[in-house]
Structure 1
Amino acid sequence: MTIPQTRNFGLPFMNLIRLKGIPILQQLHLEEQLLRTSSDNWCIMNDGTKDPTIVMGISGKPAELLEIDLVLRDQIPVIRRFTGGGTVIVDHNTVFVTFICNTDAVAGLQPYPRPIMSWSSLLYSRVFEGRGDFQLRENDYVFGNRKFGGNAQSITKTRWIHHTSFLWDYEVRNMAYLRLPKRIPEYRLARDHLEFICCLKDYIPRSVFLDQTVDALRTQFSVRSEQLDAFEATSNTKFVPSTRLLTRQELEEAAFGSHAQTTLSQSLSL
């Protein structure tokens, strides 16, 4: 779908790039480059990603968050991204929406995690109006008490990024790669993954969700569409992203350390 160029006088510009199925690593590299090197506001939408991939936050520890033996056996790629937040497995059933903004882009918005999260939830309230009990619960988007959207952020001196992985649907077998993290939201109440999450597909058509997100953006920004290849052609900035794939050796070392710790704990309990 072609997004018409719009100019709402008095509103800041936001560039919109709509993608379909590009690898999540490429998307994260693009986001990090735009955060670090651009002075414009951006919205990046990626409708699914090609292969199942695990994405961890910048401080995530594989031994604590992943069933590493299964990940290694099935050769699931693991990415450490440049933002905080939790761990998620993404694939063609995941829809991604990212906002990258200057700190003065939204009038009155303080550039701190909670205000940014609150602003984004109000934006999505427009999208989901009349489509279920949408709420922001701690750092998650939920319908009722079941999560369908996980968020991560990074804030610099003059800019911030807020990106969301929306669970359109999921493969039950993929949840086996993820461990229950040590720090969990209070509202989770020790529920396992399948009891804790729900699917966006049960509430809104996929294309409608994306289009209505753009419509919600137009209430606060003058939205203009951009093509990824056009951006890459005009970008002369040499940029080395910090987001990267973990190597098999790193995962094997994490698995070895995890097994050693388990063995030590068992020995001490005897």
Structure 2
Amino acid sequence: MTMLRQATKVGLPFMNLVRFKGLPILEQLHLEEKLLRTSSDNWCIVNDGTNAPAIVMGISGKPSELIEIGPVLRDHVPVIKRFSGGGTVIVDSGTIFVTLICNKDVVPGVQPYPRSIMSWSGLLYSEVFQGIDGFQLRENDYVFGDHKFGGNAQSIIKSRWIHHTSFLWDYDSRNMAYLKLPARAPKYRSARNHAEFVCRMKEYMPRSIFIERTMKALESHFSVKPVNLDAVVGSHSSGYVHSTRLLSKHELKDAVTTLLESRALSG
């Protein structure tokens, strides 16, 4: 069996695998951005939960349109603007993160365009959720039926791309109140609030089984090599300035002021 598995891996592209448990999401995003822009290898990062709740926005997101700034400031919830596109999420210890960073020609048939990458990732995760009714890729979300449990974001540069996903294995319903209903939302959402729109992956699959199946699915496409954190940080830390950052309280307060001024002018 071992010889057969080794034989089937001949010719598969290499992928480094880094696994964490509870890594702060800001540190994870900084690492991902470094690896995307400074490495020439393929990477998978799996982070089983983050250490504390945080809101993560896409690169073009506007706080005044996407989050309830008053409660966020009152409760000292960190707000992060990441380097990739996509929507706004709140993450915590119940979120499982899976990130794929690849050279543009590494996966046969996948072009460095959002739709092509998304379609391939949907096939990859269909292997993970095989046997579970209702799983599908729907308008760039992973869903069971019409309930979202996985949100995706991407960034594509000249020769490489990143596709990262936050899976809602579990969540605190109270945290969803920090997020506004976005003006741009998938049609299948049908203006549902967060509580009606999302679901918990734990109702469909144990946490450890999900990670195990994800690793197995990756091994169908790559020759996966585990790598420790020290090796990753040590070889990709010099002279890089990341764009992912924590928004300051001053920026959030300014967003409220701008919103109020805009309403006053339009009123």
Q: Does TM, scored on the shorter chain, surpass 0.5?
A: yes
How far 1:236 moved relative to its partner? 5.5
Q: How does 1:136-151 map to 2 (within 5 A)?
A: 136-151=137-152
Partner of 1:220: 221
The 3-state SS of whatever aligns with 1:118 is: helix
How far 1:262 moved relative to its partner? 3.1
Identity of aligned residues (%): 65
How far 1:233 moved relative to its partner? 2.5
Which ranges in structure 1 are unaligned for 5 or more consecutive residues? none
Partner of 1:110: 111
Contact 1:35 1:160 in 2 (8 A): yes
1:119 aligns with 2:120: yes
Following the alignment from structure 1 to structure 2, what is the Cα–Cα distance between the partners of residues 136 and 170?
21
Following the alignment from structure 2 to structure 1, what is the Cα–Cα distance between the partners of residues 34 and 6?
25
Partner of 1:30: 31
Q: How does 1:5-84 map to 2 (within 5 A)?
A: 8-84=9-85
Q: Say what the alpha-carbon RMSD is for the aligned residues.
A: 1.3
Q: How does 1:195-210 map to 2 (within 5 A)?
A: 195-210=196-211
The 3-state SS of whatever aligns with 1:20 is: strand
The 3-state SS of whatever aligns with 1:16 is: strand
Partner of 2:168: 167
Following the alignment from structure 1 to structure 2, what is the Cα–Cα distance between the partners of residues 210 and 118?
20
Taking a change above 3 Å as real, the CA distance of residues 61 and 210 of structure 1, as seen in their structure-2 partners, is same
Which ranges in structure 2 are unaligned for 5 or more consecutive residues? none
1:96 aligns with 2:97: yes
Describe the superposition over 1:23-71 as per-residue Cα deviations: whole angstroms up to 9, x where unpaired: 0000000000000000000000000001110000000000000100011
Following the alignment from structure 2 to structure 1, what is the Cα–Cα distance between the partners of residues 19 and 237?
22
Following the alignment from structure 1 to structure 2, what is the Cα–Cα distance between the partners of residues 236 and 243?
15
How far 1:234 moved relative to its partner? 3.2
The 3-state SS of whatever aligns with 1:201 is: helix
Partner of 2:192: 191
Following the alignment from structure 2 to structure 1, what is the Cα–Cα distance between the partners of residues 251 and 83?
18
Contact 2:34 2:237 in 1 (8 A): no
The 3-state SS of whatever aligns with 2:22 is: coil
Partner of 1:176: 177
Following the alignment from structure 2 to structure 1, what is the Cα–Cα distance between the partners of residues 95 and 152?
13
The 3-state SS of whatever aligns with 1:237 is: coil
